[in-house]
Every structure is written in structure tokens, then in C-alpha cells.
Amino acid sequence: MKQCRFKFLGQKFSVVSEKDYNQMLRQIISLSKEKYKFKIKTPLFNQEIKLIKAKKHLSEPTLWGGVNLKKVDVGKDYIKKLLVIRKYGILGYEYHKKKIERLKILEGYCLVNFKLAKPGNRFKYAPGREHGVIALTNCVIEEQSTNDLDDLIFIFNSKQVI
């Protein structure tokens, strides 16, 4: 397995296995609880998680919350979806072989590549660029991407440590 180095709030982590990764996530969440105190309302999260729980068309539940598909245009090679992430939900550390991905934080606070992200922040990931998300509050992230659905490669997968 690949060795990855991460830095968060001045602490350095070296990870070579999923066990190491999940141990690091526990430490990062613990450090985040000490550092960040958020008191926010999340009406969009509440609305979107209801659709997922009701198993509405174009929604998919996950361990961390779920996905609501909003637009697909195969001809234009475009997909728009909402990642609806529960507080302390963790998306795996991953990359894509072909997919180009743009993320916009719509609601809540999270760590994107171990840096604090808030509503309005945007991120773009070219093929091969590693990335991961940890929600510090209930979050909604808009993902716009190319229509490359089967090219997700997990470097480390989270065991939803909290």
C-alpha cells in the first residue's frame, strides 16, 4: 500500500494502511472538536437527508449520509449531485483516473484535504489528484463532474470512526 503523509493543525501523520488512516482520522476529529466550535443551522442538509432516508428517486444512502443526483447530461459529459454528509462523516481518501471534479461547499463546515472549508469554498480535482472530506458539522457539498462513473480509486477507505 502507498505511504501518504498528512499535516493537520501542526501535527504530522504518516499513513501506510487503512488501520493507520482510521487511527489518524480519530486523532484529527478529536483535535477538531477541541479547536472548532460551530453552532449553525443546516436547513439544506435537513431537506436533502429526508430525500435520502425516504429513498427518493436519484438518491443513494451511504455510511456518511448520502448522494442526491440533481442533473445528468450524458451528451455534455456532465453530472451535478449533492453530497449530504452527517457530522463527522468521512469520505474515503481517493482519486479518479479520468473524472474531473469540482466541489463547492453549500452548507456546513468540513475538512477538505485536511484544511478547514466553509460555505462558498470551491475545489477542483483533475484526474489523479488525491482528495478526501471529513464533515465537522452536517454538510452539503455540490459536486459537478464529468460523467466518468466507474473510475474511483480508494487510497484509504474510512471505517466511519466516530
Q: How many domains does the chain have?
A: 1
pLDDT at 162: 57
pLDDT band of residue 33 (cuts 50, 70, 90) is very high
**DSSP codes, 106-159:** EES-EEETTEEE-TT-EEEE-TT--EEEEESSSEEEEEEE-S-TT-EEEEE---
Say how far apart CA 39 and CA 30 lie, in whole Å.
17
Which CATH number do you get for residue 136?
2.60.120.10
pLDDT at 30: 95
pLDDT at 136: 97
- Does residue 11 sit within a domain? no
Owning domain of residue 149: 39-156
- Does residue 91 sit within a domain? yes
Cell for 1? 500500500
pLDDT at 158: 81
pLDDT at 140: 98
Say how far apart CA 101 and CA 96 lie, in whole Å.
9
110-140 per-position pLDDT tens digit: 999 999 999 999 999 999 999 999 999 999 9
Taking all residues of the chain, what is their mean pLDDT, rounded to a whole number? 93
- Does residue 146 sit within a domain? yes
Say how far apart CA 92 and CA 132 lie, in whole Å.
6
Residue 148 has pLDDT above 90, yes or no: no
pTM metric for this prediction? 0.94
- Does residue 115 sit within a domain? yes
- Does residue 26 sit within a domain? no
pLDDT at 101: 95
Give strand pairing partners of 105: 141
Largest CA distance in the chain: 47
- Does residue 20 sit within a domain? no
